[in-house]
Structure 1
């Protein structure tokens, strides 16, 4: 059996992801309209110069929503990817509502999936630390 599979179902088995996607895009739209939040949303490690994989995510989401793709990617490559994924989740929802058939994505936690995800998180953490000067400002 493959680690990832696709199939069509007669019901939505991933409805919660539709809500998460809509909420994320709503937050992004608010960031684009009103700007960054006035509160400090950094972790304590950020203040001593240690950047985690999520550092820069708020600014990157704002730039993504403003279609400033290069800046968004510079602040955090994960944000534009998540925003595109959120749009695809809403398109999936719309197709399901209109057709009555829902695309279901199934995956299982196999060793290759875990290794790939761990390497991706490590690569993102290294990337963010390499941009510590930018992210600390």
Structure 2
């Protein structure tokens, strides 16, 4: 038996008169500012790695800092080598900022709505778990690359 929510499109794009996602804009500005700062100034002299990194156990976020820096520099192939998730995050942040600029100019805000149902939520969780697991496997296969040059600075 299908309900009305099951028949609605999963993702819907619509225009609004006000920005209901200012928090997302603030987060995007912060993320992009950090990526650009790293592109210009270099990597931070702080070790962000978890305790398992020293034993060669990578997590899905390993290589993200270097990948964000390469993405901000426009070197997408090198960013992909370190962590493809950073390309998605940096480019997504840039798109959100473009959305904000267009919204300020036009007073129309592009908004994405997701029509969640219990079945759609379960599928989304399963897909996210599978993608994170695949990224974890990929990052573990690149442990030598990700561990190179990550000694703690003193």
TM-score bracket, shorter-length normalisation: over 0.9
SS in 2 for 1:106: strand
User: For residues 51 and 129 of structure 2, what CA distance do their matches in structure 1 show?
Assistant: 23
Asked whether the equivalents of residues 5 and 105 of structure 1 are also in contact (C-alpha less than 8 Å), the reply is yes
1:132 and 2:143 are equivalent in the alignment: yes
Which residue is 1:22 aligned to?
Answer: 29
Which residue is 1:55 aligned to?
Answer: 62
User: For residues 55 and 11 of structure 1, what CA distance do their matches in structure 2 show?
Assistant: 37
Instruction: Give, in angstroms, the shift of residue 26 of structure 1.
Output: 0.6
Which is greater in Rg?
A: 2
Which residue is 2:124 aligned to?
Answer: 113
- The match for 1:39 among 40, 46, 57 is 46
Aligned length: 137
Asked whether the equivalents of residues 3 and 110 of structure 1 are also in contact (C-alpha less than 8 Å), the reply is no
TM-score relative to the length of structure 2 = 0.84
Instruction: Give, in angstroms, the shift of residue 4 of structure 1.
Output: 2.3
What are the residue-to-residue correspondences of 1:27-106 with 2, within 5 Å? 27-106=34-113
Root mean square deviation, CA, Å: 1.3
- Pair 1:12–1:100, CA change in 2 (3 A): same
Asked whether the equivalents of residues 64 and 79 of structure 1 are also in contact (C-alpha less than 8 Å), the reply is yes
Which residue is 1:8 aligned to?
Answer: 15
Which residue is 2:3 aligned to?
Answer: none
Deviations 1:18-54 (A, max 9, x none): 1111111110111111111111110111111111110
**After the TM superposition, which segments of 4 or more aligned residues of structure 1 sit over 3 Å from their partners?**
none
Deviations 1:97-133 (A, max 9, x none): 1111111112236222222222111111111111111
